Amino acid sequence: MENNKAKMNEKEEIIFNSIRKNPYISQQELADILDLSRPTVANLISGLIKKGRILGKAYILNEAKQIVCIGGANVDRKFYIKDKAQLATSNPVRSTQSAGGVARNVGENLGRLGKEVILLTACGTDSDWEAVKNASNTYMNLDYVTAFPSIATGSYTAVLENNGDLLVALADMDAYDHLTPDVLAKNEGLLSQASAIIADLNCPKETLEYLGSFAEINSIPLVLVPVSSPKMSHLPERLDHVTWLICNRDESETHLEMTIENDEDWRLAAQKWLDLGVKNVIVTNGSKGAVAANNAEGIIFEPAIVIENIVDVTGAGDAFCSAVIYAWLEGKSLQEILKAGSVNAARTLESEYTVRQNLSTSQLQKDLEEFK
């Protein structure tokens, strides 16, 4: 009598070995490898389960429940003007280069805070991507990044005045047009086991629509992080599957078609996001602070922390978002979540780095105690 682990046929061997090499491989990827339909692959996997080769859907289980960050990962180039900026002429500067991109920055912040992070992005096969990879792989898993030889890795160039204020920024983000639903669908096994999916609005609208539906079907928290007012056009039509939206005043004004001139307008904007279906929302307002809202805890205000010596504003917003997500995943209250975001943003303003180098769980806790 044949035992439970019956002999596999050729196609089952291919599936079994593919899963062994990549536990996150999707059924669609397996179908492409075998040149079969996805339902056929599903039946073959069912057969492997019956033969005792695979225990249920354990082949896609991820015990660590990683956070999946999707979107921008690019080279940040910063030019600091030494004197007062003058247009239409040459300005003396000092320059730096580092890894950036909203999704990548959030991923590094969370990685430094001890979270398991996987980055999904599109990149070129160029020296810029090598620079991003070398700066990032300590803090996040880059195994699922999709490289396209025909494109350039994204880049962000910021020109800053000598007081740290942003004068102008130039963003080459065409690479992220390649972050299509088809690319993400190849990682559906990985996505289905995420503790949270964080996507920035560098992603095309159809990709964010796909993620919204996917998150709803699989009951996975979805966090959306806008990157600029023009990119608000990428927001999905439906927002009731969005667990968190973390945006600023300008982005809210653009999408909600309103002007935020006072505290009443500010709170109204937060309420309008809730009315559109967002479960938790934060609307930041620069030096005035931030408001957070959900239907359970209402609308809460947190003043900004005043920083005397701002070194660089780049990355502060991403630091805010990261600490918000971290505190939320740790089960903190809405007020505590807001505070964590404000503190991490403030400390990042004091750093010349896009992600402050001393960030850790213990350091964030010390910072929170200092700003009580």
pLDDT at residue 2, rounded to an integer: 39
Q: How would residue 301 be classed by pLDDT, with cut points 50, 70 and 90?
A: very high
Q: How would residue 283 be classed by pLDDT, with cut points 50, 70 and 90?
A: very high
Judge contact between 188 and 26, C-beta under 8 A.
yes
Residues 45 and 106 in one domain: no
Whether pLDDT at 143 is above 50: yes
In a domain, 3, yes or no: no
Residues 279 and 351 in one domain: yes
Mean residue pLDDT across the chain: 90
Q: Say which range, 12-21, 114-123, 150-159, 289-298, has the weakest mean pLDDT.
A: 12-21
* Locus of tokens 């003396």: 92
Residues 16 and 137 in one domain: no
Residues 332 and 254 in one domain: yes
pLDDT in tens, 55-113: 554 454 334 578 999 999 999 898 999 999 999 999 999 998 989 999 999 999 999 99
Q: Which domain holds residue 286?
A: 64-72+102-124+132-141+186-369
Phi and psi at residue 246, to the nearest 5°: -120, 105
pLDDT in tens, 27-43: 788 888 988 877 788 77
pLDDT at residue 61, rounded to an integer: 38
Whether pLDDT at 287 is above 60: yes
Give me the sheet containing 166-172, strands edge to edge: 93-100, 74-81, 155-160, 166-172
In a domain, 158, yes or no: no
Reduce the DSSP state of residue 196 to 3 states and report it: strand
Residues 136 and 17 in one domain: no
CATH number at residue 224: 3.40.1190.20
Residues 28 and 137 in one domain: no
Whether pLDDT at 359 is above 50: yes
Whether pLDDT at 1 is above 50: no
In a domain, 97, yes or no: no
Residues 339 and 271 in one domain: yes
pLDDT at residue 3, rounded to an integer: 42
In a domain, 208, yes or no: yes
How far is the C-alpha of 256 from the C-alpha of 259, rounded, in Å? 9
pLDDT at residue 56, rounded to an integer: 54
In a domain, 86, yes or no: no
Residues 249 and 340 in one domain: yes
- Sign (positive or negative) of CA dihedral 31, 34, 37, 38: negative
In a domain, 38, yes or no: yes
Reduce the DSSP state of residue 348 to 3 states and report it: helix
Spell out a b/e string for 306-332, using b for 16 or more CB atoms within 10 Å of the CB, else e: ebeeebbbbbbbbbbbbbbbbbbbeee
In a domain, 202, yes or no: yes
In a domain, 212, yes or no: yes
| Total domain count, the chain | 2
Judge contact between 325 and 292, C-beta under 8 A.
no
- Sign (positive or negative) of CA dihedral 99, 100, 106, 109: positive
pLDDT at residue 49, rounded to an integer: 75
Whether pLDDT at 190 is above 90: no
Query: Which amino acid is present at 265?
Result: D
pLDDT at residue 4, rounded to an integer: 43
Average pLDDT over residues 267-291: 96
pLDDT at residue 6, rounded to an integer: 66
> In the numeric block, which tokens belong to residue 358?
């001393």
Residues 21 and 68 in one domain: no
Residues 44 and 106 in one domain: no
pLDDT in tens, 125-142: 999 999 999 999 999 999
Residues 137 and 30 in one domain: no
Whether pLDDT at 221 is above 80: yes
Residues 315 and 268 in one domain: yes
